[in-house]
Structure 1
Amino acid sequence: MKPIQTVLITGANAGLGREAARQLAMRNGVEKIYLACRNQAKAEAARNALETETGRKMFEIVLMDVTAPETVRAAVAALTTPIDAVVLNAGGTGGQKPNALTNEGVTTIFATNVLGHIVLVNELMSRQLITSTVLYASSEAARGIPKMGMQRPDLASGSPEEFESIANGNKFGPEGDPMQTYGYVKLAATLWMGAMARKHPHVRFVSMSPGGTAGTAGFDDLPFLKRVIFKHVGGVLMPLFGMMHSVETGAKRYVDGLFNPEFETGHFYASKAGYPTGALVDQVSIDATFADTTTQDNASDAMMRFA
């Protein structure tokens, strides 16, 4: 595996993305970190703070909005040198209108978590601009966390048509619950990563859940009651019951996924069954779907239709 010296992180101005940038900057050998953000002012504020905290001027801003593929393509077109690793961190529950359709015909929640990252990787791969590792921020929601109200995503057939219905929202309808949809879109993207690992064996494709992480912005746009439960009540009580850990712990999972070769390409690592925190385990031991190559290919083929 080629040494990782340069890393691009999406959603890098806050939460897990920003903390991952900080931790990576403290590692020997890392020379440049691209902060991929959609807002110039927030990106500049994050860069300035990171330079102060780490004592290193190694952060470069890349403007892109993962819900708008044209901005992703433009950002990649402006790159002039290869990047060793990419952390596909941006995500969440899709804003105030998670089920609204984008210009590409997918829901906002799908665009935020999946489509923009597919476009980013496709563009980088087509220009031979990734040399080592792609890490996708998956979630235990992809195999369900019933204790947190996230049931296991139920695939009826795992066909391309079913994955297409996940992307365009037809599986859930216009009033679909974003907390449940979130698990399906994370599942779809994790399966895509498995297909990519087989298609591009010279690059590592690792799906890594940061776990239940307190203080992140991913659930800021939930309806009021759910937002209060997850961000305020949950932020106090869930850590006591082992259901949330710190942003530092979540970001460290990203860093470990990039640098520890024990995390194998095409695999999905997350917490043990029933929990979003604790020791990492290969999720195929919980749900064999993650290693099913036909389902992986069906997910990938369906989602590529929108890219």
Structure 2
Amino acid sequence: MAGIWSVLLYVFGVLVGLFGILIITARTYIYWGFRECNSKASMKGKVVLVTGASAGLGKEVARDLAQRGARVIMACRNLAKANKVAEEIRKSTGSDLVEVQLLDTSSMASVRKFANSFLKNETRLDVLVLNAGIVGPASLTYTEDDHELTMATNHFGHFLLTNILLDLVKRSSPSRVVVVSSRNHQYTNGFDPDDLDNKKRPYIGSYQSYNHSKLCNVLFTKQLSHYLEGTDVACNALCPGSVMTEIFYKLPGVLWLQIIGVIVYFSGKTIAEGAQTIIHLAVAEEEANTRGEYYENCRVCPTTDQANDMGLAKKVWEKSEELVDLRAEERHY
């Protein structure tokens, strides 16, 4: 019996050691390339819209921009939670220019209701931060619009929102659109622009569905930037890095996500660190004229041929128009 316990303890020790090496290696890799937003730019007089601002990266971005004097509109689906966060931000920044509005990016009706109300009540939009996102459930799930849930939340909702608000963004120029994607956009298998809703093939699983939606974020940014040529609107996508946010534990049935969450908890960036590239693209003076780039750690990073394929970007845009039923009055490019 003592021999068995010795073997078990030895194996346990080896596993702990390997885990420790993994964590140290991951932290070294992350912090070797980490850069903060060094801009001290004031945002006084600016109107900023941040989707998914009730927690994680969106909350930190809202706090930072409120601290800089911006009027920050937190567009969130959970109003009770978002209002508590807004009050926290008001107290910590001393700003009373923080407000909450209802927006569920998985629902095209919610997007249209929010956007049309925004246009009626606002006269400018200086920075649009498309941050809301989920990793979908393990089983294939469709929304009320018959869209695959992850794609609807991460891509379709933001696609429609941006199109409806685009004329206001252009009239507010110099202005910016900041699209929160992920390095996971590089890891897509079987991406088909004609099957964004996962109707033609077996469900690819929450991991690949998430990756596909993040590729759509980058391709959307590329095509939008093409349409914005000749304007004074900066539009760029980014990966915030490995950050421990709610996304890792909102879906207890998705085991792979829980495992990654544990690793990120020990080795990843803090939320404040993860928000730096978003903030950088929203405020940094040197990024006022950049368009169609992909960023990590506050600097342009190379990405895949697929993510740079303008033909594919146009196909995704056109298919997205069809699937969200983009109306003539909602086109401003």
- Shorter-chain-normalised TM-score: which range? 0.7 to 0.9
Change (3 A) 1:137 1:48: same
Q: Which of residues 143, 153, 162 in structure 2 aligns to 1:112?
A: 153
Q: How many angstroms does 1:124 deviate by?
A: 0.4
Q: Which of residues 107, 114, 125 in structure 2 aligns to 1:68?
A: 107
The residue type equivalent to 2:272 in the other structure is E
The residue type equivalent to 2:102 in the other structure is L
1:225-244 CA distance string (max 9 Å, x none): 3243133x22444x1xxxx2
Change (3 A) 1:219 1:304: farther
The residue type equivalent to 1:211 in the other structure is G
User: In structure 1, what is the equivalent of residue 6 of structure 2?
Assistant: none
Mapped to 2, the partners of 1:52 and 1:212 lie a distance apart of 28
The residue type equivalent to 1:86 in the other structure is L
Mapped to 2, the partners of 1:56 and 1:196 lie a distance apart of 33
2:125–2:168 CA contact under 8 A, matched in 1: no
User: In structure 2, what is the equivalent of residue 142 of structure 1?
Assistant: 185
1:183-220 CA distance string (max 9 Å, x none): 11110121011001111232221101111101333552
TM-score, reference length from structure 1: 0.81
The residue type equivalent to 2:162 in the other structure is V
Q: Which has the higher helix share?
A: 2
The residue type equivalent to 1:92 in the other structure is I
2:181–2:214 CA contact under 8 A, matched in 1: yes
The residue type equivalent to 1:205 in the other structure is C
Alignment coverage as a number of residue pairs: 272
1:135–1:257 CA contact under 8 A, matched in 2: yes
Q: Which of residues 211, 234, 253 in structure 1 aligns to 2:277?
A: 253
The residue type equivalent to 2:177 in the other structure is V
Q: How many angstroms does 1:164 deviate by?
A: 2.9
2:47–2:126 CA contact under 8 A, matched in 1: yes
User: In structure 1, what is the equivalent of residue 163 of structure 2?
Assistant: 122
For structure 2, list consecutive stretches of 5 or more residues without a partner in the other structure: 1-41, 325-333
Q: Which of residues 240, 263, 272 in structure 2 aligns to 1:234?
A: 263
2:54–2:81 CA contact under 8 A, matched in 1: yes
1:152-186 CA distance string (max 9 Å, x none): 21356xxxxx2131x21136523x32112211111
Mapped to 2, the partners of 1:246 and 1:171 lie a distance apart of 39
For structure 1, list consecutive stretches of 5 or more residues without a partner in the other structure: 144-151, 157-161, 271-278
Matched, 1:205 2:205: no
Mapped to 2, the partners of 1:262 and 1:287 lie a distance apart of 25
1:16–1:216 CA contact under 8 A, matched in 2: no
Change (3 A) 1:259 1:236: closer
Mapped to 2, the partners of 1:70 and 1:126 lie a distance apart of 20
Percent sequence identity is 25
C-alpha RMSD of the superposition: 2.2
Partner SS, residue 266 of structure 1:
strand
User: In structure 2, what is the equivalent of residue 89 of structure 1?
Assistant: 131
1:172–1:181 CA contact under 8 A, matched in 2: no
Q: How many angstroms does 1:222 deviate by?
A: 5.2
User: In structure 1, what is the equivalent of residue 141 of structure 2?
Assistant: 100
The residue type equivalent to 1:207 in the other structure is A
Matched, 1:269 2:310: no
2:280–2:298 CA contact under 8 A, matched in 1: no
Q: How many angstroms does 1:130 deviate by?
A: 5.5
Matched, 1:303 2:331: no
The residue type equivalent to 1:257 in the other structure is L
User: In structure 2, what is the equivalent of residue 282 of structure 1?
Assistant: 300
Q: Which of residues 147, 166, 188 in structure 2 aligns to 1:153?
A: 188
Mapped to 2, the partners of 1:303 and 1:88 lie a distance apart of 16
TM-score, reference length from structure 2: 0.75
1:93–1:222 CA contact under 8 A, matched in 2: no
Q: How many angstroms does 1:280 deviate by?
A: 5.0
1:64–1:72 CA contact under 8 A, matched in 2: yes
Stretches of 4+ aligned residues off by more than 6 angstroms: none
1:85–1:130 CA contact under 8 A, matched in 2: no
User: In structure 2, what is the equivalent of residue 7 of structure 1?
Assistant: 48
